[in-house]
């Protein structure tokens, strides 16, 4: 009986230790996931896709590709031709070359932002007008604000 009690106590310690390690790992993973939603891990490319006559193209798929890694992020236009793609780019990615692709066409982009600014959203606006890609960086913040709607309290 005494040996069985020792084995049971030893197993109980192992189970508690394993549970503690798993709980700490879960907390650490949760903290990392939260951090990746912070502004300094996001780079947003948004805009409108229209045909050569200025009509919005709904349901059109776009792809933002990190040239350095080949990793891509996909988005699709809504009924108004609006798309929004969020890429995971950290502070170290400033100046990184990107490509925005739609069907067989693509346009080069550069990830431009201030890596010391962790308050403002990072990104650019690129409209596709027929076969032309038109970057409108100055319109990024207002377009993003319009897409997100008024802030809720």
**In-domain check, residue 153:** no
pLDDT digits (tens, 9 = 90+) for 37-58: 576 789 999 999 999 999 999 9
**In-domain check, residue 11:** yes
83 phi and psi angles, rounded to 5 deg: -135, 160
The mean pLDDT value of the chain amounts to: 84
Instruction: Let me know: does 61 contact 76? Beta carbons within 8 Å.
Output: yes
**In-domain check, residue 134:** yes
Report the distance separating Cα 8 and Cα 152, nearest Å: 54
Determine if the pTM surpasses 0.95.
no
**Closest C-alpha among 128, 52, 45, 57 to residue 88:** 45
- Residue 83 confidence (pLDDT): 97
Claim to verify: residue 66 and residue 14 sit in the same structural domain: no
């Amino acid at each position: 009986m005494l040996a069985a009690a020792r084995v049971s106590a030893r197993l109980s310690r192992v189970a508690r230790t394993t549970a503690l390690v798993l709980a700490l790992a879960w907390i650490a993973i949760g903290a990392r996931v939260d951090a990746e939603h912070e502004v300094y891990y996001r780079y947003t490319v948004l805009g409108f896709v229209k045909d050569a006559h200025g009509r919005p193209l709904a349901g059109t798929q776009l792809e933002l590709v990190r040239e350095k890694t080949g990793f891509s992020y996909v988005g699709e236009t809504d009924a108004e031709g609006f798309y929004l793609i969020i890429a995971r780019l950290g502070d170290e990615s400033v100046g990184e070359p990107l490509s925005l692709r739609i069907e067989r066409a693509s346009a080069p982009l550069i990830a431009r932002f201030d890596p010391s600014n962790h308050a403002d959203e990072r990104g650019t606006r690129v409209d596709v007008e027929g076969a032309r890609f038109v970057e409108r960086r100055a319109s990024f913040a207002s377009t993003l604000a319009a897409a997100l709607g008024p802030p809720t309290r």
